Each structure stands twice: as C-alpha cells, then as structure tokens.
Amino acid sequence: MTVNILDVSLRDGSHSVRHAFTADQVREAAKGMNAAGVRYFEVSHGDGLGGSSLQYGLSATDELKLIEAAAGECTTSEVAVLLIPGIGTKGDLQAAVKAGAKMVRVATHVTEADVAAQHIQLGRELGLKTAGFLMMSHMASVEEIVKQASLFESYGAEIVYVTDSAGAMLPKDVTERICALKQTLQCEIGFHAHNNLSMAMANTVAAVEAGATFIDGSLRALGAGAGNTQTEVMVAVLEKMGYETGIDLYELIDTANNVIAPIMQQPQEITGGSLILGHSGVYSSFLLHAQKAAKQFGVHERDILKQIGKLKAVGGQEDLIYEVAQDLAR
C-alpha cells in the first residue's frame, strides 16, 4: 500500500518560528524535500492564506514570495496551501496559484464544513488537488464527523482530513473516525496529528492501519504546540511496516538536520503548556499566544489554557486568550 506524505514544516512550523520564515530558508527546505521525493509540502502563514495580521501574527515575508520561492525548486514535488474561510479569500487562493501552488486544503472547524463550499469548488475549477480539512476533530462525535466530511465530498473534495489540531486524540479515537469515513466516503482520507500528548506517531500509525492514504508530518516535528508527527521518523516507521512512501529517507534526514534544525528557535518538545493543550483539547497554535498573555498579565500559561479548554475556544478566538488572562489577573 502507498501512503502519501504531506509535509507541513513550512506552514504549521510557521507558528513555532513566529511566522518569520525567509524566502531563502523556504527555498532550501523546498530544494531538500524535492530531492527527497516528498510529493506535497505546504507553504503559507501558519493560519493559512491571508493569515498575516495583528490577531494571528504578522509574517516577516509575504507568503506569496515564499510560495514562489518553494515552487521554483520543485521538479517532482508540488506546493500545497491551507485556506481557512474567513481568514483567506478566493482572491488569496487565485494569487497563490499564480505563485505556483498546486494543491489547496480548505480548513474549517469540525462542525462548519458548510462554509467551505465555494472555496473547494474554486480549488477544483483552478485544477488544484483539493482537500477538506476538519480541524479540532476531537470535539465532534464520529457521526458528526461523517456528516461534515460528506459535505466536503459533495462540494468536490478529493481528500478529507481528520485533523487533531489540539493533539488531544488517542489511537482508538483516530481509528474510529478514519474507519467511519472509509465506510462512508468515496474520496481518500487523510490525517493530521499534533504531539501534545506524545501520541502523534501512534495516532498516525492508527490512521494508516485504518485506511488513511494521506498523512501529515513536519521535519524535526516543527509545528504548533509540541509539533506534528516527525516526518523523517514517520517515513522510517512506515517503511518498517511495509508501506511505500516514495521518499529517500537519507535525503530527508539531511534536510531535517541541515536546513530545518538551524531555523528552529528551540527544540520541539512537550512542555507543560503543550501538555495542557492536549489534555484540555486546546488549539495548538494558542500556545505562543498564551505564553505572551501570561507574561503580560503575570499569570501562568497553564491556567489560561485550562480555562480556554473549558470555554471550548476554537481557531479564530485568539483574542479570548487575553481576556481570560486579564480575568485571571484580577
């Protein structure tokens, strides 16, 4: 069985480096992944196209320049982008295609797939490999995920992703969701993990064994929270399990060590804050915002995150982090 690996180092990893990627860094990473045979890798602001803002974090370099830099190094690889309706627009997607994007993943909260119809349809019209991305999938029942995934497929999605944005799932949760989608949908199924409970690799293996054929990872686990499934490790594990990835492991390790590692501001590890993300089911990109708010208001980041989890906050509610911190300070 062939498993398609999509690397998110240059998108999810943007959160970890505070959206400070340079065109040269992206170019070198793209060159290495292309040489290693990574079929797809994602390039954009951490919160997707159009994400550069005061609320989500300003990008040091325009994302269209980063997409152009990456696309210029691709001979066999293809550049993917993330688009969250309400943050990115159809115009942003059209501009990304002109810059060299060949794939789009349209992301919504797990119960809001209906807001993505026009964006998925546009992706297909533009000739892109088009996927639906169900964020915070731990927050919905299996039945609800099937319902929302079916909407994505009806709009034209060629792949539907179960996305563990909070790193809150256990392998049985992943297996139940992937199996249910395999039994219901005709399109391919993908899985995106975060490592906040140290379960990213186990969850990835569970997804593949349940029938997922598109799997995300990031080199050196560079991503929001405690990071993602580590791409180079995942390739090695899948090869030992007998799956085909089409990736040169040695080339991938060299890119991880020589290109990605020097970019990282700190090693990707499970800190107390990232552990609370997974334990409380909080969106992984909230970690740096919580750390900033904790310092600003003199409270502990874990108290902020625990309260955010109780409020069931989702992506786009970053302002709530500062309100909670202010309330705790009082």
- Annotated binding-site members for Mn(2+): 12, 192, 194
Annotated binding-site residues read 11-12, 165, 192, 194, 283
Tell me the chain's radius of gyration from C-alpha atoms. 18
DSSP-based helix, strand, coil % in the chain, nearest 5 = 50, 15, 35
Note the maximum CA span of the chain: 56
Which residues, 6 or more positions from 48, have their beta carbon under 8 angstroms from its beta carbon?
A: 11, 81, 82, 83, 84, 87, 88, 107
DSSP letters, 216-272, are: EEBGGG-SSTT---BHHHHHHHHHHTT-B----HHHHHHHIIIIIHHH-SS-----H
Can you read off the two tokens belonging to residue 234?
A: 């995942």
Looking at the DSSP assignment, which residues form a beta bridge with residue 57? 53
In a 3-state reduction of DSSP, which class is residue 190? strand
* Cα separation, 65 vs 210, whole angstroms: 38
DSSP 258-314: IIIHHH-SS-----HHHHHHHHHT--TTHHHHHHHHHHHHT--HHHHHHHHHHTT--
* Residues sharing a CB contact under 8 Å with residue 265, sequence separation 6 or more, in sequence order: 16, 17, 18
Cβ(33)–Cβ(39) under 8 Å? no
Active-site pick, 15, 45, 109, 119 = 15
Residues annotated within a binding site for substrate: 11-12, 165, 192, 283
**138 included as an active-site residue:** no
Residues annotated as catalytic (active site), given as ranges: 15
